[in-house]
Chains A and B, each alone.
Chain A
Amino acid sequence: MGEEIIVDISAAGNVNLETRGFKGASCAKATEQIEIVLGGGQKKTKKPEYFAPATTGQRTKLTF
């Protein structure tokens, strides 16, 4: 499974972000710009994979 960001937007505009398929903190990089455009009202939950070490050679998102 590839890396995926799931964004759930409620009827009233509340946003919940979830990442799938990421290892380590690379998910935070991947969602950074989305969080910026939304302004900080969204909810984030860190899954266990966040705390797993990134695998060697893993693509890391540096900029958006």
Chain B
Amino acid sequence: MSHTTTIDAVEIKDLNALRAAINELKSNGVECDLLENAVPRAYYSNQQGMNTPADLVLKLHDSRYDVGLYKQDNGAYQPRCDLWGGDIARNLGVQEKGVDTAQNALGKLFNTYSIHAVTRKAVQQGYRVQRVAKENGAVQLRIAV
């Protein structure tokens, strides 16, 4: 049965890093756009947890469903989505061992967000950042302090 999944594995707080991450996803072939104050698509139009406008919505053009990002009291944007049918995973998914299904389904989003959030913070502090691609989509950032 279709239902709403919330994922708190990675706290999304830096909107500029999120936008940079989405631009990177687009450049890597993920057809998507970031909308503001919209209702994300899910299996049911009035699906519990996703039937109110999200602060941000990652609209996936090659998917029937979207990722809603709902701002929490701590300032983080909580992803909520419907994983039914595998649409989300086909667009954003990775296959990392030891990681739960929901986090894997949004893996590319979390991966690119973390890269840009760390890079932006390091550069703000005047540090130099070298990005090194590792196996299976992992990335290492070498930050010279």
Contact = CB atoms under 8 A, between A and B. Distances in A.
A9 B131 CA distance: 11
Contacts of A8: 134, 138-140
B3 interface: no
B35 interface: no
B105 to A, nearest CB: 9
B13 A37 contact: yes
B139 A9 contact: yes
B138 A33 contact: no
A40 interface: yes
B136 interface: yes
Contacts of B136: 11
B145 to A, nearest CB: 4
Contact of B111 (A5, A9, A61): A9
B63 to A, nearest CB: 18
Interface in B77-133: 94-96, 99, 103-104, 107-111, 113-115, 117-118, 120-122, 124-125, 127
A4 B128 CA distance: 10
A49 to B, nearest CB: 14
Given A37-B118, A39-B13, A64-B124, A11 B141 contact: no
Interface of A: 2-15, 30, 33-34, 37-41, 61, 64
